[in-house]
């Protein structure tokens, strides 16, 4: 998830981040990120 957070910090869209870190499903990435971080990728990107 550290790499995903770095990519989100760089301004990539959530679906682009999911793809780059190896998830084939954006929804699965979204749920895993939320479970790990306690907030969604969108919430992380725009606090």
1-47 pLDDT, tens per residue? 999 999 999 999 999 999 999 999 999 999 999 999 999 999 998 87
d(CA 46, CA 23): 22
**Which CATH number characterizes residue 7's domain?**
1.10.10
Half-sphere exposure of 38 (CA within 13 A, CB side): 1
pTM: predicted TM-score of the whole model, two decimal places: 0.88
Would you state the pLDDT for residue 47?
A: 76
Residue 11 belongs to domain spanning: 2-45
CA-CA distances (angstroms) from residue 21 to 16, 28? Answer: 9, 12
Question: Tokens standing for 46?
Answer: 């725009």
Q: Answer yes or no: are the C-beta atoms of 40 and 33 closer than 8 Å.
A: yes
For residue 8, give the nearest of 43, 40, 34, 45 by alpha carbon: 45
């Amino acid at each position: 998830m550290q790499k995903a957070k770095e990519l989100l910090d760089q301004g990539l869209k959530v679906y682009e981040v999911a793809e780059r870190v190896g998830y084939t499903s954006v929804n699965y990435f979204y749920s895993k990120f939320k479970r790990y971080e306690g907030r969604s990728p969108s919430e992380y990107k725009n606090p």
